Structure 1
Amino acid sequence: METKAAYDRSFSKNYMLLSQEQASLIDLIRVLFNSDLAKRKFIECPAGTEQSFKYRWLIVVSILVLKILQAVSKPLAWFGSVVEIWLNLLSSNRNFGVLILNFFRGRVVKPDKDSATFLSFIGNLDTRVELDKSIKHGDSRYYAALSMMASKASYENRAYLQSTVTDHWKMEFLDCFDFWNEYQDKATTQAFMLRDKNVNPELIVVAFRGTETFDTDAWCSDFDISWYELSGIGKVHGGFMKALGLQKHTGWPKDVQRADNQPDLAYYAIRDLLRELLGTNNQAKYILTGHSLGGALAILFPAVLAFHEEEWLLERLEGVYTFGQPRVGDEKFGEYMKEQLRNFNVGYYRFVYCNDMVPRLPYDDNTLMFKHFGTCVYFNSFYKGKVVTEEPNKNYFSPLSVIPKIINAFWELIRSFSIRYTKGPEYKEGGVLRVLRLIGLVIAGVPAHSPQDYVNCTRLGSSDVYLPAVQDPSNHQQSI
């Protein structure tokens, strides 16, 4: 195992890096009673760094969660595989009754995990494939609606992506990727790219995959509260930076050299491919998108572009559309990004549906420094949108919100049975999502994070909710 001295932290003079592998139970107890964090072998930070008891307690919780995730990694992956195979077995044979009948007939249709019809657990929550044909290019909802469908599709396999983009959306499938995470020592970051030649100017979409339900590596990126402070930029969530391609020894150099047998790093590979693709068409633009963790990577990507002074690529960036995105940095980072987005006239729309827990994390309080920024497009459970400076109940766990959350969860459960009749058959919800709605009666933020509601928001929400990229809603709230 590499030691602290083996790392070059010159790219960041202030940082807090956690290593759950090096933390013992005794270490976790000691950190609660000693504010000097640099003395702990599982915490890497500048000498003399001290933090409050509450912050040290959060470090302990983060380490424990990471250790638990590591411990259950293999059984959880196995369980997830069984669940997904079962769900696809049911869909391949139409339903449970037909499955039993096919079993006795010896005609059971077995799902192929690499086929275009195989769906992940996330995909089974919302099986829609087609784009909303009523939302065409030129409609202010077009980018958001396409982005959310791409974000939803990013959870699926290559065959599904290629079939969906080519056959259903009539666009060009460029590629999908498994990118390397140097800190996890494996390929744990996924994304795919498509090109829409049906619009003018030509549009490239980069969609980052979010946190898969049974993927503990992705959950570790979420719960790792390490951070780095970049000069002139601010403090940024360490787990997300690692997933995007932060390197152990050199941080964020402008260019990297990878051996032929080494998997690519997300930021560098996507940046280079965008250079190539955009270089063939001077009018082409691109957008970045992602759901959940994918949304965090989508907004962090232009931050690193700005850090590297990649002005040509920033000028070609049409917009960033994120859905259920967690916080990625502190207030200084937010101010830096607002200035960069304003300078290059880039629209940034951060969608939040109702009681979704993820956009309320990590906490925005005096202990943690994380802050949201940009245009927050908030939708209630009736899919009515408004632009707000911050989503209501910004830290989620408010005693005053418990009863309203339960009432709203009951309404969402009832709506799951009625929406196909009130909005159309394409809004029908399946049994898997309804089970999640039941869980929502206890933890409202779980089903509210599903792609189904975010797709509905982009299709049913008013087009007036999208503000011009140059407008800053910091002192404005627009009801729709």
Structure 2
Amino acid sequence: MRVDLDRTIKMGDRRYSPHVSIMAAKLSYENEALNKTVIQHHWQMHFLGLQNFWNAYEEQYSTQATMFQDKTDDPNLIVVAFRGTGPFYANAWISDIDLSWYDLEGMGKIHAGFMKALGLQKPIGWPKDIINQEAQEQNNTTKQFAYYKIREDLKKILSKSEKAKFIVTGHSLGGALAILFASVLFLHEEEWLLDKLEGVYTFGQPRVGDEQFGNFMMKKLKKFDVKYFRYVYCNDMVPRLPYDDKTLFFKHFGSCLYYNSLYKGKVKEEEPNKNYFSLLWVLPKVLNAAFELIRSFILSWLKGSDYEQSWLEIIFRMVGFVIPGLSAHGPVDYVNLTRLGSTLHLPQSQEGLKHD
């Protein structure tokens, strides 16, 4: 229901980028008309478009991202927000459940479904440039792929302002695409763009690769001084998938900015109960789901009308009694933690040092 930014959080505040990021990630689930209205008239920012991108493996448009520019301050900020998995959007679910590996030499193994959604070229992988793309675009004979089109758009827009920066963000599947977008920039050694990348902000992001890929990313994040902020709210089940076990070998990398149901945060190496399924956690998760349901009724009384939840959202909270952690995945709690939660500082090396 919320479309307005928290005006008490201004540029320069450490909460600004994560707050704008989650609001953008939430907005990306909506249609282009609503994106344009909210960005231009509510946020007073410049709308750059909501685009559909082609998936060569599924042979359909399966990926969406919204872009806008905040020109209210100098240097201005460009935001790229990838859309996550809508509950009734089958194309996105196909990307999620494709658990096959895509092996990139020197990088490691990566979730193939996510890579295909980002623009993996069939059958040649990730060439730095698509041959004859510009000529084909002029004749409207080519499909646009997320990584390549967004990269080129960013180069054009950023070249107009020497001080401009950009951030990449997304919720759920969108978060996975956001960090993988950065990984392909690393692969292609896009130093000029990486120098302008202020950070990658993901919310409820699933695991995207194996341990080798995580090690590759940590080295590149440090080399190019790119900040990676992976937010996890309480019992959200999606960051705990796919499993980090002897069968699937998926692993997170970097620090986890973990918030409990009181929106109190800690920087951790890994979110608690990392693989979600555990008999020891069943009762605590159900009790926490009950607390979240009660909180839905009282938070607006304590914090104001911005925190009022619709009846549909309250009904979704009840799902937490049956599947604890599913109702915790919605964007509402991630918006709340950027407004109400404690401000966390990542370890300078981003190597997952544990902090309170």
Q: CA deviation at 1:375?
A: 2.3
Paired AA for residue 213 in structure 1: P
Match of 1:325 in 2: 205
Q: How high is the TM-score relative to the length of structure 2?
A: 0.96
Q: Distance in 2 between matches of 1:312 and 1:399?
A: 49
Q: How high is the TM-score relative to the length of structure 1?
A: 0.72
Match of 1:472 in 2: 350
Counterparts of 1:351-366 in structure 2, within 5 Å, are 351-366=231-246
Paired AA for residue 148 in structure 2: Y
Matched, 1:435 2:315: yes
Q: Secondary structure at the match of 1:155?
A: coil
Q: CA deviation at 1:200?
A: 2.2
Q: Distance in 1 between matches of 2:109 and 2:273?
A: 24
Paired AA for residue 412 in structure 1: E
Matched, 1:210 2:98: no
Match of 2:327 in 1: 447
Q: CA deviation at 1:394?
A: 0.3
Q: Secondary structure at the match of 2:57?
A: coil
Deviation per residue, 1:263-290 (Å, 9 max, x gap): 2000000000111111111111100000
1:141–1:466 contact (8 Å) kept in structure 2: no
Match of 1:288 in 2: 168
Q: CA deviation at 1:352?
A: 0.4
Match of 1:248 in 2: 122
Q: Distance in 2 between matches of 1:264 and 1:216?
A: 20
Matched, 1:342 2:222: yes
Match of 1:140 in 2: 14
Counterparts of 1:176-191 in structure 2, within 5 Å, are 176-191=50-65
- Structure 1 pair 197–456 and aligned structure 2 pair: CA distance change class (3 A): same
Taking only the aligned residue pairs, the percentage that are identical comes to 57
Q: CA deviation at 1:216?
A: 1.0
Q: Distance in 1 between matches of 2:29 and 2:23?
A: 11
Q: CA deviation at 1:199?
A: 2.0
1:387–1:473 contact (8 Å) kept in structure 2: no
Q: CA deviation at 1:473?
A: 4.6
Q: Secondary structure at the match of 2:321?
A: coil
Q: Distance in 2 between matches of 1:425 and 1:275?
A: 40
Q: Distance in 2 between matches of 1:404 and 1:250?
A: 48
Unmatched tracts of structure 1, length 5 or more: 1-126
1:234–1:332 contact (8 Å) kept in structure 2: yes
Counterparts of 1:382-421 in structure 2, within 5 Å, are 382-421=262-301
Paired AA for residue 267 in structure 1: Y
1:376–1:389 contact (8 Å) kept in structure 2: yes
Counterparts of 1:197-236 in structure 2, within 5 Å, are 197-236=71-110
2:218–2:351 contact (8 Å) kept in structure 1: no
Corresponding residue pairs, total: 350
Counterparts of 1:7-22 in structure 2, within 5 Å, are none
Q: Secondary structure at the match of 1:363?
A: coil
Counterparts of 1:157-196 in structure 2, within 5 Å, are 157-196=31-70
Coordinate RMSD, CA, aligned: 1.0
Match of 1:422 in 2: 302
Q: Higher helix share goes to which structure? A: 1
Q: Distance in 1 between matches of 2:73 and 2:213?
A: 34
Unmatched tracts of structure 2, length 5 or more: none
Match of 1:373 in 2: 253
Matched, 1:237 2:111: yes
Q: Distance in 2 between matches of 1:386 and 1:141?
A: 15
